[in-house]
Structure 1
């Protein structure tokens, strides 16, 4: 027998009346055909990980959901199925005393919503609590007073709310959920008894007595088909959640009963028929019939012609638009076929996901004919997605710099908007910097970090000052800096970028970008300039030097700490070198580290007029010019009396300008000069 098997049986001929069962003794690549992974969940070494495997405190959430909805309710017999599931899991942390928040098994009609981190257990989205419908058993490792948790080691039944109906303490049975040991759980629901039982053990032997017993009728919550699955989350911790095996079974439906048929009646129920009247003249009846057919026949035929013509016209217009799109490309990368990209990404399978952004998902693509690898960005089918697609394709198509992610091509077919980029084997800077790389922890050495800071400064100088039109990126952050095979930086994701004529005043737009990287004046007025990019760059190189996120929770007091404020505080005490990443173990040139940190503060100055240009930044990094005097105390914010944007306009996720939402066709200019595209995408 093969060491790993997937046993799966779901009867579909009579789904409401049949039992369903499946078993994952462990998880393989084939298992992903029957599972949907959301958020930070992943498959590795036969296990499903639900949160990131990292060694520094962070926030993370993820779900693993069975791909096929299961029916529990039979309306004919008014019967709700019973179910039984058992699974083995472990919760551990590479850092002592860094635990929270736990995992949950759930049944939900929603298989698309990614839950929030922290106490929400990756189960519900904090922004739409009233829309969450689920039945869940939580295995909670943090006491959250918002949800009336009894302690930091409990099991509870949750229905449409994270305030448990009833909880139990597994420590009474000698079980610590955070021990890192394999724990097996059994959850049994008996519909006829209206009882849910939860058993927990450190072995594979099911205990005689349940840990948690709840008398409850779940039939009102199982009327519609639901997806079984797992979710987990953490916030400000390194807790890791793993699912090792899983089986599930429904049972208890009544057999199919024959339905009454209107023609199968007993003799006593036969109703006498009234006498049938025979028309006096058959010829009159035939004349009426012929007249009716003579009128309705042509009308019906005309209706068919009209429908056929309408459908044909729509198809013709759609084909014409796509051809127009292709014909109007003056220069740029190659066109890929949708078929080739679909095959290369295994049908855009979840196992090929490299990352997710505000406007789409990036997939790893293997082209078997050429043996090459690429990254395919699939834009969302929204107007914002189309605007972002056009902006990115237009701006980056003819940019050429060694520190840019190179665009290989594009595809517009079957309603899809696809961009093909060079594949970066070392992923994004944030994943490497914070040990989130799927290939295991990689500590960037000092030479690599200095090279990243210089390379990123070089490409920003090119965008700001060397293109015919100035390119303002607007979303410079660690996750948009990719690393090639030699850990050289490559700036990507130009979906929010804007073109400006040199020496022109900036145009006010809705704020776009990511909190922690946004310049104060940009938050206040929405004015995107090269100086807002300089601020974001300053934050990124402080991340590179310090190994800390722009905003993260302090483990000692759970307060959120701003990286710029933290570095400036130690600079004011004369201890700026103390901010250097401890994982470097002091293996760096002290004066070069001091220079990098001071350049970071210089770029992240709240006063935009005091920030240097990227040309000056590059000169400072390579020691071609002296550093300006960095004030010991962080300068305060000062704004004019102009009216700021409304509060709802200050957002952390990207938004496109209102004008773009009202336009269906744009003439987009290339930063290399001239019209590159004139496109209209449906």
Structure 2
């Protein structure tokens, strides 16, 4: 650790000990430059293009007046350029290469230039570029294909993102090259090792008219690279416009006034240039190409150039006060960072120690709460589920995944892997205290649990081979698997399931010292398995994740609305008040779903199943209840038979009983709903409960958001409002496996 910090400190100090290379040439006339003893022309090196591929009489850059001309815009005796040339390439560099031994080096440069076009947009020339490259010479054939004298196009495939050359460039391009995916014939781009620009600005007259490269304008450009942020920024200003003479030829009048750099850059890119510059001799300058015979002559003139860059040199014998301050800052930062790391390590270890203690405490509390459930080892359950193999997964819900487990003794169990940690032991133990009190044939019993450090909490229960009831009610392909094709068989099985669920709820509400509200009765929480004689299906009500204990003498108790949309009683949904009648309402919805074979809320129906039934069963004869004809309109088609015998009449009577029970259980007023004991008796005797003399209001119109303070009675009518249930409760730790 100390070695690392000393290394960082050394790099910081080494990078601060630099001197700057700076020059500023206001023009390129043949005299000493401003502020420099060296002639501006002698500081610039015209690079002759290699004769082996360009020809011995090739056209190169030249000086004329106060400018450097990379290429000529008209026939010129100074470099032999003519309109008949196939290509022209001009390249100039600063006289000395730059050694970037310090890879984190910022630089800034500015220059004034002019591009003179002799043909209209977009048909003239190729453009020019400022570059910093590792090659003094222009690469072979770089005068063609819009390569701007920077790379050999034959070495770069259309899909390549770099070439063998290392260079950084800002291009001012006047030609569309599909190879480099140019956006237009007037654009500015930032290039690294390829001319497929990493970022580009379209400067056509419709996008950026003041920087349009076909107006023969004179521009000043500023380029900066900040090595600390890897930010490359380009600013550009139009400082004068060329005029045309009567013959239409471009004028080269370049009188312009210096301007301030614009406030905002026209182009920027975040890119680390250290890999381009690192440990190489780099040449910086300008390059341009044109194709006079095909695209007309295009002139590129450089009128001024300034540059500043920090380069590594030998350190002075003693540090200056500013460097002493940098050393002090570096040491302070290093010490503060080291101290911060130590504090973070201490906090992490303390948090881990507290978590271990908390998990141990949680496990102890859970074991005490689940005294009647067997603790399993994680190894035992992992082996039983074949390592929680996805092939063993039989279900997945909001609370966790359920796997089929085969124990060492051959018994089959369901193992639920909970998503939440048992560090929520207060909620877990409260639910566990309910589960350990519950013992009933038609309630799914928790057989065991597992909670070991470093693993998820696991719950073990009886494996229900047939899955949940909702699959058999709403999946047409599975309905006949429940009890065959006959209406009588389906009726007997579905009635048996409803009676078993009703018996389980009757036990929860009255069979214990306190009333247990299940609060999530629905088809998905009714699990099925074969009975002992394997001739009938047996149901188990599961999932006590939302269960609450209330005393019988308490009456309505305030609690947060939770459950499944469509099953939640309206007084709980809108008023936040609950009695055992909230479970009665949910059972009523379940009974209606079982009879009708449709969900409480479905995209195929615009109404809740209760409202849909009342709308469909209009004009009920109160003396006889729902007629046979009305029943056939609402029952699941698999329950309907065309026979008129005694058995067929018994089927209709059974479902008349169920529909009456369901409608009364879903009554808007909780006080008008039957108790689960009355429901069980009605189902056992297969006698229909009497319906109201008049159609009651919809449960979801009876209450409304403004009725939260109203007392729930049979005679109270709250203001009408439409609302939908919330998205459901938070996940519970003790939801049973399914």
TM-score with structure 1 length normalisation?
Answer: 0.49
TM-score between both structures, scaled by the size of structure 2: 0.46
